[in-house]
Each structure stands twice: as structure tokens, then as C-alpha cells.
Structure 1
């Protein structure tokens, strides 16, 4: 449905909630200004309603979580909540943990290679990344990590070892081990040459883990040349390093395929999943080739990597419902078709002020903005995001300077909704040029 604004945005209830939140929450968490934020009350499909009753067209999937649409897995959690809210994940687990791990094996390594995958569950995406890094350390007995400029893998201390966006890492850099080599992430053939030159100077004997997003998300929706992942795979095979794909954002039909790595036909040793895995519950997974995951020793009653809520039955029930849908070829086809429709509409903005690139795959699209003198136009991007909020469209900026408008809507976006958002965006670009 198209937006239906009842009160000015943000409305009085959102303003009151923002003031109250400012009194009790860490000031570095929720950004607040006179125009920001609105407070969500409920969501369904591609729409969100705020505390003031305004309905929005939601083009972020809530950070990529609601790929199947807001509320898709709600019935699963309602059903499960009647029977079991919590189990003892690594001692006396819920039956659903078994079924979830089986689904994760089926959608990853069984689909890619015919062999089993084994899973280490977590709660947040960064925990999956940290589980993968630990697995690589156990399997290779090497401490070195190869990561990429512009990368985002979450903000836990282990995940920060792979951080390629400086402002996330720098405040805590003195507490982090000096074990990471950052390479340029290629956006084109020139970037690919720079990557190859940098990789040639890396001592592969020290590297145990190569951590990479097949498409960079927070780095600006950067799609590398087709040979990039293949060359990383070859390098890992030659050196014995493990290839880790962070598909927390790009996985599960976000890009028009079940996983972004499938565009290039490259199979990792380990893959990290989260966000759309449950459609709304904190659960994540590090899934690896069985032989790689067996680098972890057999437990004798005390797990080396676990948490209180590992394999929570609510999260497992939601993830099973989501994966059953993601396993359907029709779901992947729908994501590809709707992504094509969105990309085609966004391409009509190519000649508008500030627009220097339109790119994307599936339901992950981007518009890059620069000033006429070549400077990244992060100021224009945030202004547009705020203007669209006033029209009932939820959008976010990405990129190192916030100059990329990122589109990651849920499945179910129709032509009228796409047209509405694109036309308001066109008008906003032209107003910013006056």
C-alpha cells in the first residue's frame, strides 16, 4: 500500500518518545533531530505504521531483515510461543534446533556441493562472523585475517578485526590485535588491478581467514567484477586459508539469487547468515563445510563457543518458516523479477542532478550521488532521506560518506509503490539542485 500520512512527520507521539528516549538511552545509539526519528508501532508486508498512526512505504526491510515481508514469520512465533519459549541450547536443546541446522545444510553446502554443512548458531550477525573467525583459527592454526576496505561485519570486538570502515574501528583500535591486512575492494577493472597488486604482496602462510562480503552493503552496495571471488577462491586453495563469505545482508534471496556468491558460482568454506534468516528474531548462523567445522573438538560437556540463547526455539521456529520459503524456486524468481522492476525504474533517474551511478542486483539497489565538482554528496543524500520520510517513504543512506541511497525493500513491492517512491525521489533531486 502507498503511504497514508495522518500527522506531520515526526508526529507528536514520536517527538515525545524521542525526548523520553534521550533521557535514558546511551547518547551514541539513536540519532535524534527535529526531523528524526519516527517510532514504529506495527508493520505488515511493505508497510510500517508509526506511533502517530502514519503509514509508510518501507524500502529498507528494517536493515534487510524483512526480505519476505514484515510479519511473514509472525504465525510461526505465535504458534511456538504457546509451547516453548526457551530451551538449554547446548545442554538440552529444543527439537527445532535440529530441524534448523538441517535446513541450513540443505540451502547451503548440500545445494552447492552435495556435501553436508554444519552450523554454529548465534544471536546476532557479528556473532556468526566471530564464530567463522574462530573456526578458521582452529582449522588452519593461523592468526592472520585478510579483509577489505569498506567492509562491515558488525561491531563486536572479533568482528571489528575485519572492519574496513575506519570510524567503527578507530575508537577501539588500541584494544585490537594487529592481525588484519586490509585490501582494496574492487568496484571495477581498475580496482581489480589494485586488489591483485595488493594481494601479491601478502604472505599467505600467515593468513588463516579471508573475510569478505560478496557485495559490500554498508560500503555503498559495491558489486565487484565477476572474477574477484573466483580469484579469492583460487588464492585460498593455494595458501590453505579459509574463505568466509559474510552473507548476513546479501543472503537469502536479497540479490535475486539465494546467495550473492551464486552469481559468480563460488563456494566458500564458511558462510555467515543473519538478518533475513528469521525475518525478525535475533538469530544468526555460521555454516561451514562439515570437514572444516570438524576442526572444533568434540564437546565433553563444556562448549568452547556458546551462549544462553543459542538455538532459541522462537528464533528456530521463525527461521525454519523463513527457510522453507527461501528454498522455493518461486521465491528466488520473485526476488529477481521485482529487483529488475525496481532497477529499471531507478535507471530513469540516471540523468537527474547529482546521480552518478545506479547499480544493484535483485532487491539490493543503489543510487550514488556526487556534487558537480566530484565531491560525494552525502549532504544531499541525507536531505533526500529526510524529505522522503515526510512523504511516507523509509530509505537509508550508505557508503563511507553516506552518499549512496540504498534500496533493500521487502518482497511484495508493486509497480505503483515503486513508481510513487521514484517520482518523489526525482522531485527531491531536482529541488536539491536549485
Structure 2
């Protein structure tokens, strides 16, 4: 089958091959690179490699490029901040940092859903945000234990790694992780662990059983959960589950932490995914899309909690960096100004296209998601929904060769996370490339 018009060379091209060879000599091999894309530049949803091949980016730097590549408003904000100063440590104050704190306080789900004031701690990444949330939970409760969920991904530093369980390879070779973490199943209606039961209710009952037999609830500082599970397969929980967690936490004086590093900042069509269910956390973590590509993260908590931190209880050098804060301020303005709404509208169109595609391909077991956080789970054509892992890998690889950048998650789910600025025309173009990729993966062409 001929290559699409925008792919001008064999992939990887000669310049890409040369750079990959240079990289192999000096960069850690631990990065989980799926296919040989070597980027030159990008605009919006489009990216080009160093050999001039053009692609649609439906991975967006793992849901980071919320406003698309090189959005003029973000770039202008970064340039203006850089003209003033590049860094002053978090020992001091500056306008970009305070402005970002004010924006985060306005959009925080504890404020929008429960009317509670919020405060933020700024950092550089999602894993650091999770670490900060865990430290805050232990600090204010005086309790040592936590509940996490199988399939969750919360980062790779040692505290967050203790919760990460989307693949065993992430913990392999790094034992022992932080103690005090107990994992429970994440409710997955498509792959039920509890036969004949409401999966959300069954998981809540499982936690109650743990509290009775194994984990004293009076020792649990917090429950850490993704409102929509990311690396675990873009799994959307059943109705009532997050509200049930909230009630369970309130019953036992446990804090509820929502990890919205991937699902937050407009990704699901709302500023935070938890807003779909009207459930407010005590603490929420943010990163990825917050800075449109610049490294920034945030721990956002109820003010009554974060205000308990004493001077020096937690800190960092780069938190509140003016360049990253400027990017985040511009990003939030764009997302609140229309891109979250666009994610909901265009995401609905995308979901409808994928459901139509599923009628033609029995290997598509389920399409699920919210907004522009969408998973397409591929299965063997049997009665047991057996994950089609090899097929998933082939589809992602073929899509790359056809000019569409994708990533997988879970055991056999293709995930779609384009910039929130993506258009319906770009969705339609991507669907054409995806259909071709499925055909090629299934036939081996």
C-alpha cells in the first residue's frame, strides 16, 4: 500500500536515522520509545520530522501540548517572561507565580464544586506533584497508610512509584518501594473482576472489607485515585464510584486525592475530569497539559489543609519558575476561553466516528472516554474479550508510518489525546489514517 502524500521518505528518514544513532551513544536507554519519530517542529496538531515528513500528533507529548504545538499566545507569554528574568527561586515572590496561584484557586474543583478556597504548591512535573500530595496528606493527618489502585500510574519517583501499577516493569528492579500502600482493583465495567455485580460498588465493598480485616482506616491518610485511569487503559469508572469514595473517605476522616495529571486542564471537556461526576477532592494534582509543554506541576489542596504546612515543611528550587508559570497562565486562559469546550464538542464527534469504525472492525472491543481523552480497546475476536496486544502494537506502528502519532495504554488500548485545539477536519483526516492502519495491521501489509 503506498504511503500517504505527506510522508515523503521511508521512515525513519536519513536525518532521523543519524540522530537516533547519535542519541544511542549518550542518552539513557530507559526511555520507552515506541517508534522512530524525530521531531523538527510543530504547529497546532501538525508536526514535522527532521526529514520533512508531516504527521498529525494525536499523542500531544503524552497529553502535554494542551493548546497545540507552539501556540502563539503561549509563545508570546514565554518570550515576554524571558525578557524579564529566567529564574528566581521559590524563596521569593513574582507576578507570574502569584497570578498562577490565583488562577488555580479559581478553577480548583474544591472551589468550583464545593465552594472551598484552595491553595497551590508549584513544582516541575506530575510525579513531583504526587509526591507533594502524599507528603501533605501524611503531614496534616498524622497517618502513615494509603490506598491506591491497580492499573494506576502516578509517576516514577519512589513515593509515586509505590502507587504506580499499570505495568510491573515500572517497579521491576526498584524494590522496596515506599511502605504503607495497599492496592485495590479499579472498577472496569468492560473487564469486570466481580461477576454479576456493579463494579464500582463491589470495589467500595472490597475496601470496606480491607478496613475490617487488614488495613485500620484510622491509619489511612488518603486514597489516591485517577478519576479516569490513564496508563491503565483510559478506563472510565462507573457512575457512583467516585461519590462512593468521597463518602467512604468522609466516614473515616481519610483525604481523597485525585490525580488529574493526565485528565485535567480541559482534557475531558471540563477543566477537571472529576467535574463530570460532581465530586470534589481534598487534594488534586496537575501537570502535563498545565504548561502547554513547559515543565510545571501543581499540588492544589483545600486551603484549610495546605495552610497547615509550616515554613520549610516542603519546598523546591524551581517551583514557580517565571517562564513555566507564564506558559501555564496563558494555557489556563486559552483552555477556559474555549479549548475545554472544544474538547467536549470535537471529542463527541471523534467518539461518534470511532463507534462507527467499531461496527466495521470486530477487533474493536470498546470505545470509551470523555472529551479528548479516548481509548479504543482492541481484542481478539473471541467471546472472552482477550486483549489483542500484538495487534495494538501493530496499529500504533502502522499509524506512524501513515503519518499519525499515537500511543497505547493498558494491555491493548490505543489512546487518543490530541491537542484540545484539534479541529473536526483533523479528526476526519486522522480517522482515514486510522482505518488504513487497522487494515494494514490486520492483513500484515
- TM-score w.r.t. length of structure 2: 0.91
**Quick one: distance in 2 between partners of 1:98 and 1:273?**
17
For the 8 Å contact 2:46–2:55, the answer to whether it is kept is: yes
What does the per-residue CA deviation read over 1:33-89, in whole Å, with 9 as the maximum and x for residues that have no partner? xxx311111111001111111111011111101122111211111111111100121
Cα RMSD for the two superposed structures: 1.7
For the 8 Å contact 1:186–1:225, the answer to whether it is kept is: yes
- The equivalent residue for 2:60 is 61
Counting only pairs closer than 5 Å after superposition, residues 189-268 of structure 1 correspond to structure 2 as 190-203=198-211, 204-268=217-281
1:11 to 10, 13, 16: 13
Q: Is 1:394 the counterpart of 2:389 in the alignment?
A: no
Change (3 A) 1:107 1:282: same
**Quick one: distance in 2 between partners of 1:256 and 1:3?**
32
- The equivalent residue for 1:350 is 358
Shift of 1:353: 3.8
Q: Secondary structure at the match of 2:358?
A: coil
Change (3 A) 1:431 1:174: closer
Change (3 A) 1:100 1:414: closer
**Quick one: distance in 1 between partners of 2:148 and 2:36?**
33
Change (3 A) 1:168 1:129: farther
Q: Is 1:412 the counterpart of 2:411 in the alignment?
A: no
**Quick one: distance in 2 between partners of 1:367 and 1:166?**
19
- The equivalent residue for 1:134 is 135
What does the per-residue CA deviation read over 1:82-111, in whole Å, with 9 as the maximum and x for residues that have no partner? 11100121x223221111111110111332
**Quick one: distance in 1 between partners of 2:114 and 2:202?**
32
Q: Secondary structure at the match of 1:418?
A: helix
- Segments of 5+ residues of structure 1 without an aligned counterpart are none
For the 8 Å contact 2:374–2:416, the answer to whether it is kept is: yes
Shift of 1:173: 5.2
- The equivalent residue for 2:373 is 364
- The equivalent residue for 1:183 is 184
What does the per-residue CA deviation read over 1:158-201, in whole Å, with 9 as the maximum and x for residues that have no partner? 10121122424432553323311111111226422431231112
For the 8 Å contact 1:353–1:433, the answer to whether it is kept is: no
Shift of 1:414: 2.6
Q: Is 1:273 the counterpart of 2:275 in the alignment?
A: no
**Quick one: distance in 2 between partners of 1:343 and 1:368?**
13
For the 8 Å contact 2:153–2:232, the answer to whether it is kept is: yes
For the 8 Å contact 1:120–1:287, the answer to whether it is kept is: yes
For the 8 Å contact 1:3–1:57, the answer to whether it is kept is: no
Counting only pairs closer than 5 Å after superposition, residues 280-429 of structure 1 correspond to structure 2 as 280-297=293-310, 299=311, 303-328=312-337, 330-351=338-359, 352-373=361-382, 374-399=385-410, 401=411, 403-429=412-438
Shift of 1:256: 1.1
Q: Secondary structure at the match of 1:314?
A: helix
- TM-score w.r.t. length of structure 1: 0.93
Q: Secondary structure at the match of 1:433?
A: helix
What does the per-residue CA deviation read over 1:9-39, in whole Å, with 9 as the maximum and x for residues that have no partner? 211111111111111112222537xxx3111
What does the per-residue CA deviation read over 1:304-325, in whole Å, with 9 as the maximum and x for residues that have no partner? 3222211100001111111122
